[in-house]
Amino acid sequence: MARSASVEGGGGRRAGGLDVLFCGINPSLMTAVTGHHFARPGNRFWPVLHRSGFTPRLLHPCEQRELLSYGLGITNVVARATARADELSPEEYVEGGRLLEEKVARLRPGCLAVVGITAYRAAFGERKARIGPQERTVGGSPVWVLPNPSGLNARWTVEAMAEEYARLRSRHVTRTVRS
């Protein structure tokens, strides 16, 4: 049985809750084994998070709990672990979107950052969505769609992803990150 990999935080925004809740597509098999988000060696999430200024140093996936001290959390659209996201059914995305809406309404982050345009489109029926801020809210929070940091996403370099993540940070993070 896989360990839970959620780092969602708690409380509302007024009680020092999350500035940003990052939302991956679904856990990889490596994440299911380790219990750590974005644990696969080729995944670029942690380097991008650091380069964009969300963290003062490069964190290892096993240090994901430190994100809470920076006002950040992580969850997934779909809970089921797979080797590849294309193994998920359309129904799993839609149900995951419904559950995510409830989770975001409960956690009330300053922003929901969906990591992967395809997952956002499938979960919320937003077929024309683009990378960046979205017009709709999810659970009452604004939404920003970010490029998928998977090593399989060769269209985006680490530098280009870090620029997009930094755009999100400049609009939605209220805490100062210190090294």
Task: Give me 10's structure tokens.
Answer: 């708690």
Short-list 115, 147, 132, 105, CA closest to 28: 115
Strand partners, 144: 113, 133
Buried b / exposed e along 31-66 (16+ C-beta atoms within 10 A): bbebbbbbbbeebbbbebbbbbebbeeebebeebee
Amino acid code (one letter) for 31:
T
Task: Give me 44's structure tokens.
Answer: 């670029």
102, part of any domain:
yes
pLDDT averaged over 10-residue windows placed end to end, the chain, 179 residues: 45 61 94 93 93 96 95 96 93 98 96 96 96 97 95 88 96 74
11, part of any domain:
no
3-state secondary structure of 40: coil
Short-list 89, 73, 63, 80, CA closest to 28: 80
Residue 41 is predicted with a pLDDT of 83
Q: Could you tell me the pTM of the whole model?
A: 0.90
Q: Which residues constitute the domain of residue 99?
A: 18-71+89-172
103, part of any domain:
yes
80, part of any domain:
no
| Total domain count, the chain | 1
Specify the CATH number for the domain of residue 113.
3.40.470.10
E strand or H helix at 115: strand 111-115
